[in-house]
């Protein structure tokens, strides 16, 4: 019986090796040879799964996004049925910040991916598409919160979405020890408290 090869698992292992290279050494050391060494495989084996550095980086970024989505999903399960939109937004924003090992790896991957996207048209389009989808998700949450009466009806969901996403800009401040993680979370809580504090009584 021939041995079954878990190709998806191999790709994910390579992606995690890429994350480690970015986290420890930075994007300037991100070559296929270095990632192969980190993954404990030959360059030829890595090239069997990824034909180029851009393809490898794109998969690693998609995988990072999937892992973030899974963490958010697990967090939502802990919030129980019909969680308040404030709690959903707080959880989502917190998972976008480098507050623990997995999120830190994802945050640094994001930074590397943006740098790559500035110089590679294909990567640029993929990165842009992912950000557009993420922004649309946040705006849907806000529109639903308005429809359900959790937010004042005169709130502009597009503008509020942009303000919420701006809070993810805390990442470099946390990474470079300009502010502490708890201070970033306090600022997020303050903004969300203000956002959800002006609902007018019905009737």
Per-residue model confidence as pLDDT tens digits over 4-31: 668 889 999 999 999 889 888 877 778 9
Token digits of residue 55: 């393809």
Question: What residue ranges do the domains of the chain occupy?
Answer: 52-195
User: What is the value of pTM for the model shown?
Assistant: 0.82
Q: Tell the CATH topology of 52-195.
A: Tetracycline Repressor; domain 2 (1.10.357)
Q: What is the DSSP string of 22-72?
A: HHHH-GGG--HHHHHHHHTS-HHHHHHH-SSHHHHHHHHHHHHHHHHHHHH
**Whole-angstrom Cα distance, residue 87 to residue 99?**
17
**Whole-angstrom Cα distance, residue 5 to residue 7?**
6
Rg over alpha carbons for the chain, rounded to the nearest Å, is: 20
Give the model confidence (pLDDT) of 70-110 as tens digits.
999 999 999 988 899 999 999 999 998 999 888 888 888 88
Give yes or no for residue 1 having a pLDDT over 70: no
């Amino acid at each position: 019986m021939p041995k079954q090869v878990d190709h998806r698992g191999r790709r994910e292992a390579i992606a995690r090796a890429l994350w480690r290279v970015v986290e420890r050494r930075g994007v300037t050391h991100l070559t296929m040879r270095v990632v192969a060494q980190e993954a404990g495989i030959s360059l030829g084996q890595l090239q069997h799964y990824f034909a180029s550095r851009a393809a490898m980086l794109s998969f690693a970024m998609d995988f990072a996004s999937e892992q973030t989505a899974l963490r958010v999903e697990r967090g939502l399960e802990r919030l129980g049925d019909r969680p308040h939109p404030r709690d959903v937004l707080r959880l989502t924003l917190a998972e976008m910040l480098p507050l623990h090992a997995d999120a830190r790896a994802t945050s640094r991957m994001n930074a590397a991916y943006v740098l790559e996207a500035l110089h590679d048209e294909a990567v640029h389009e993929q990165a842009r598409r992912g950000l557009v989808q993420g922004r649309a998700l946040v705006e849907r949450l806000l529109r639903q919160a308005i429809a359900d009466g959790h937010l004042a009806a005169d709130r502009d969901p597009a503008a509020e979405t942009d303000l919420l996403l701006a809070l993810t800009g805390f990442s470099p401040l946390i990474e470079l020890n300009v502010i502490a993680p708890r201070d970033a979370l306090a600022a997020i809580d303050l903004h969300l408290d203000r956002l959800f504090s002006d609902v007018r009584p019905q009737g």
